[in-house]
Amino acid sequence: MIDIDVLLAWGAAYKKVSAGEIIFKEGQPCSFYYQLVTGKVKWVNIDDEGKNCIHAIVEPGESFGEFPLFDDGPFAATAVADEDSLIIRLHKPVFLQLMQDNPVIHFAFTQMLSKRLRYKFAVIKSFAAHCPEEMISTLLNQLKSEKKNFCGDCNQLNLTRQQIADMTGLRVETVIRTMRTMHEKGDLVISRGKVYCKDMIQRITA
């Protein structure tokens, strides 16, 4: 979201995190702006039984945990390194000053947060339909539109069935069965266990 040189000029610092390491927890106060440099980070809610609800799998160049920067509330979800990762973080007061002094960056943040909110509305709508195919289609549409979690060369989906289940609230068995049906309909291609999406799935976006 923000050029690393700009962040460094404002006093940001790098931090290495190991796979499985918690970066911040749901309910904790926010002290930093976080941006991923390398690796992957899961942004999740974890219930009392240890089940994950994945809101996003953050990729390099993306920020995460932004909401408390603006509303002064606690983190709404937990960030966990999905693999060995490098993040860059900037103290919250300095970040807010950076926003005030750089309206172009501030506007870009407003656009990003608006897109995430629009996606949440689409997710809630798909949940209300109680249709696994629609829920998975909503997720894939969003990822394709953002060019996230897909290989840019071959359009392979870089998520496991379990991750898709955790991102939709479905059982992994339901995800496997539903994606097989979508393959039979031609909405996606499954080859040797890998999932490929050639085009955007139009069914729910028309």
Domains belonging to the chain, first-starting first, are 4-101 (2.60.120.10), 119-196 (1.10.10.10)
Mean pLDDT by 10 residues, the chain (206 residues): 94 97 96 96 86 87 93 94 97 96 93 85 78 88 82 83 89 92 88 77 38
Which residue type sits at 41?
Answer: V
Work out the end-to-end distance of the chain between its first and last CA atoms, rounded to an integer number of angstroms. Answer: 29
The gap from C-alpha 8 to its chain's centroid, in whole angstroms, comes to 24
Task: Give φ, ψ of 186 to 5 degrees.
Answer: 90, 10
pTM equals: 0.79
The single-letter code of the amino acid at 69 is: L
Q: What is the pLDDT of residue 206?
A: 32
Distance CA 140, CA 150 (A): 9
Residue 143 CB partners (closer than 8 Å, separation 6+): 149, 150, 157, 159
pLDDT at position 202 is 43
